[in-house]
């Protein structure tokens, strides 16, 4: 008697750094959503102009947070598109934090270093292989 077993696919184990990066990306995304809700609430307290501005800023922050959660899922599950988006976001982060770092803003310098490390890590051979 023969039994049928579904073919198995060999999947590479998720690198520890990818797990850490995914968790941090999720936390950042949740902070964007919370900040967006806060902007909506504060905007509502500031009258009609503040409410309009709160809707624009809060809505944008919530949208970025939701996109971030989608990218988090993609990073966690090894989707190549998520790695590409994370690279783009790290490059954008480099550009924005570089402007602050020029003025020797301490948090911008830290952000600059973090984005450099993220880019370096996402181009490591074993990480690229995980997303292939």
What range does the domain containing 107 cover? 79-132
Structural domain includes residue 57 = yes
With 60 as the cut, is the pLDDT of residue 8 above it? no
* Domain co-membership, 58 together with 104: no
Nearest residue to 60 via CA among 41, 40, 89:
40
For the entire predicted model, the pTM comes to 0.74
Q: Is residue 8 part of a domain?
A: no
Same domain membership, residue 94 and residue 71? no
- At 10 the pLDDT is 41
Asked whether 75 and 83 are in contact (CB, 8 A), the reply is yes
User: Are 88 and 73 in the same domain?
Assistant: no
Q: What is the pLDDT of residues 103-132, one digit of tens each?
A: 777 777 888 888 899 899 999 999 999 988
Residue for token pair 């709160």: 54
Q: What six digits make up the tokens of 90?
A: 């790290």
6 lies in a domain? no
């Amino acid at each position: 008697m023969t039994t049928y077993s579904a073919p198995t696919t060999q999947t590479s184990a998720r690198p520890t750094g990818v797990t850490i990066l995914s968790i941090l990306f999720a936390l950042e995304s949740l902070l964007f959503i919370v900040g967006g809700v806060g902007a909506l609430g504060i905007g509502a307290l500031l009258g009609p102009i503040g409410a309009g501005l709160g809707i624009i800023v809060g809505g944008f922050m919530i949208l970025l947070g939701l996109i971030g959660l989608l990218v988090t899922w993609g990073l966690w599950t090894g989707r190549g598109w998520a790695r590409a988006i994370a690279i783009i976001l790290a490059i954008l982060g480099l550009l924005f934090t570089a402007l602050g770092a020029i003025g020797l803003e301490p948090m911008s310098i830290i952000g600059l270093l973090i984005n450099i490390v993220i880019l370096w890590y996402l181009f490591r051979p074993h990480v690229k292989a995980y997303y292939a």
